[in-house]
Chains A and B, each alone.
Chain A
Amino acid sequence: SQQGEEDPQALSIQEGENATMNCSYKTSINNLQWYRQNSGRGLVHLILIRSNEREKHSGRLRVTLDTSKKSSSLLITASRAADTASYFCVPSGFQKLVFGTGTRLLVSP
């Protein structure tokens, strides 16, 4: 199995600021996914980036992937209080997905 390690463990920012979270992993991957978990909506899938992609956008989210460094980043632009949540990166190949401990993001009004 494979597991991503998110960094930092916790991040506090003000509304309107950008939030960047990083992820490192150790094995070869087919794709990498980011998930968000908050008390209101539970655990939901945010975005998937394939191993042959370097960058992907979805609304205010921007994900990068560097397979040579086995790392990924998630950028949330113009953050909102509703972005407060834990964020998990999940590298995946052809095995079961394994979640790490995530980055806890707090966006203050």
Chain B
Amino acid sequence: GAGVSQSPSNKVTEKGKDVELRCDPISGHTALYWYRQSLGQGLEFLIYFQGNSAPDKSGLPSDRFSAERTGGSVSTLTIQRTQQEDSAVYLCASSLVQGAGNEQFFGPGTRLTVL
């Protein structure tokens, strides 16, 4: 079956430009997460969507970062006015139900390079 997909797989952009990263979760998964991983570092939580509840945005590093999830499925992470420190791999994950085992299934990530 289809897993979590992300696009693009790689994105190179110039400082100051806006970028949009897309995540297609596994069908039927109600929870969706965005993480960021810098080179050689662990995962940094960014934002979490659960069903129709208000998203948990507590991990977003600045107001240049935003995310939305349309129709409870596809999610888009937007970074405005990108900075070089935004360069990282952005990972998306989905899980079936929050709080009941909630094994997360990860996508392959989008590698963002800000020049």
With an 8 A cutoff between CB atoms, is B1 at the interface? no
With an 8 A cutoff between CB atoms, is B43 at the interface? yes
With an 8 A cutoff between CB atoms, is B79 at the interface? no
CA A88 to CA B104, docked complex, whole Å: 13
The interface residues of chain A lying within 8 Å CB-to-CB of B48 are 96
Q: A42-B108, A42-B109, A43-B91 are in contact. Are A98 and B45 (CB under 8 A)?
A: yes
CA A31 to CA B42, docked complex, whole Å: 21
The interface residues of chain B lying within 8 Å CB-to-CB of A44 are 106
The interface residues of chain A lying within 8 Å CB-to-CB of B105 are 45
The interface residues of chain A, by DSSP majority, are classed as: strand
CA A101 to CA B35, docked complex, whole Å: 13
A46 CB → nearest B CB, Å: 10
Q: Which residues of A contact B (CB under 8 A)?
A: 1, 30-31, 33, 35, 42-45, 48, 88, 92-94, 96-102
CA A93 to CA B45, docked complex, whole Å: 16
Q: CB within 8 Å of A: which of B55-105?
A: 56, 58, 91, 93, 98-99, 101-105
CA A93 to CA B101, docked complex, whole Å: 9
| Interface Cβ pair total, 8 Å cutoff | 43
For the complex with contacts A42-B108, A99-B35, 8 further pairs of A-B residues with Cβ separation under 8 Å are A1-B45, A1-B58, A31-B101, A35-B104, A43-B93, A96-B33, A100-B42, A101-B42
Q: CB within 8 Å of A: which of B15-49?
A: 33, 35, 41-43, 45, 48
The interface residues of chain B lying within 8 Å CB-to-CB of A92 are 102
The interface residues of chain A lying within 8 Å CB-to-CB of B58 are 1
CA A45 to CA B33, docked complex, whole Å: 15
The interface residues of chain A lying within 8 Å CB-to-CB of B43 are 43, 88, 99
A75 CB → nearest B CB, Å: 20
The interface residues of chain A lying within 8 Å CB-to-CB of B99 are 30, 93-94
Within 8 Å by CB of A97, from B91, B102, B107, B109, lies B102
